Structure 1
Amino acid sequence: MFKMFKKKESDYNVYSPVDGEAMLLEEVNDQVFSTKMMGEGVGFKLKSGEVCSPCDGKITLIAPTKHAFGIEADNGMEILVHIGLDTVELGGKGFEVLQQPGTRVTKGTAIIRVDLAFMEANNVDLITPMIVTNAIPFALEDNVIGNEVSKGETLIIHKEK
């Protein structure tokens, strides 16, 4: 009877929030992320203008400057997706918020749209870290680092074995 309350391994799966290339967090050119001050995670070289939910859950935060969002996953993970480096300096320009805090979303739901032409014209580094901000143990999926990933489709994080 109590098996219905037990989480399956697949409940811990977290997918890519973007189309792009996955990279180690230590390679992100920002010490806040590369030294893992905010938590463990992975970076992405953003290649399309849509940033999506990496899992099923509830949006807990949209930064006032629209460059980041937080989500509380149904599996208990608290995840921060930070679009670009130093993008807080843009004051929200180049970003369009598609979902609001408190909204329930599923993996692959578009959260923020990025104006890639604006970013390129302003020489913005669009490396996008995804951080697990609470201390839930997890593992990176084998063979994702250095490879192309697809938003909502490529498995990035799974339950630590």
Structure 2
Amino acid sequence: MTVVLAPLPGRVVALADVPDPVFAQQMVGSGVAIEPARGQGPLTVVAPISGKILKLHPHAFVIFGEKATGVLVHIGIDTVKLEGDGFTLIAAEGDTVDAGDPIVSFDPAHIDTTGYSAICPVVVMDSKPDTVESSSVGGDVATGDTLFDWSA
């Protein structure tokens, strides 16, 4: 069992409610999304699991953990088009991290000004649709709260 922590504070929403069909239809994998908290200035996004940072972009990262579990955190929708504007990398690709270690910071209010959605999908890579269940959907989470448990 892998415990996946909330990488940032906000309201938990179902992937079906993410305004991107790739995530909404769970093509990347099953999970949930977090609508980031506003009004706190920049937020630090942390590692949801312990492991190695397999991929790191300003707008997204994948951590490969124990039991061959990869977790993707995607910061916003279509935010790749910002080419890093508004994001600050804290960690580096290839780093080994513990759950809760800081990875990147961004300001959701800045993303709001670009017209893109700041919603952040948190997905178990290559998992079958609807295999992640979270009792947190519809509620608020703080950074580091348990978002969901994953068992392959």
**Which of the five TM-score ranges fits, normalised by the shorter chain?**
0.7 to 0.9
1:3 maps to none
1:5 maps to none
2:134 maps to 141
Q: Secondary structure at the match of 2:76?
A: coil
1:71 alignment partner, one of 63, 67, 75: 63
1:55 alignment partner, one of 36, 49, 52: 49
- % identical equivalent positions: 31
2:146 maps to 155
Q: Secondary structure at the match of 1:140?
A: coil
Amino acid at match of 1:103: D
1:28 alignment partner, one of 3, 18, 30: 18
Q: Which has the larger radius of gyration?
A: 1
List gaps (5 residues or longer) in structure 2: none
2:91 maps to 99
2:36 maps to 46
Amino acid at match of 1:25: L
List gaps (5 residues or longer) in structure 1: 1-8
* Aligned counterparts of 1:25 and 1:120: Cα–Cα separation in 2: 20
* Aligned counterparts of 2:108 and 2:45: Cα–Cα separation in 1: 12
Q: Does 1:15 align with 2:8?
A: no
* Residues 41, 130 of structure 1: 8 Å contact kept: yes
1:4 maps to none
Using the TM superposition, give the Cα deviation of residue 138 of structure 1 relative to its aligned residue in structure 2, in angstroms: 5.3
State the Cα deviation string for residues 65-107 of structure 1 (Å, max 9, x = none): x100010012421111100011011011000110011111111
* Residues 4, 48 of structure 2: 8 Å contact kept: yes
1:87 maps to 79
* Aligned counterparts of 1:155 and 1:28: Cα–Cα separation in 2: 20
Question: Would you say how many aligned residue pairs link Structure 1 and Structure 2?
Answer: 147
**Aligned-pair RMSD on alpha carbons?**
2.0
Larger RCO (CA within 8 A; separation ≥ 6) = 2
Cα distance change of structure 1 residues 107 and 138 upon mapping to structure 2, 3 Å threshold: farther
Using the TM superposition, give the Cα deviation of residue 20 of structure 1 relative to its aligned residue in structure 2, in angstroms: 0.4
Q: Secondary structure at the match of 1:120?
A: helix
State the Cα deviation string for residues 29-82 of structure 1 (Å, max 9, x = none): 11010011111111110116211100111111012xx10001001242111110
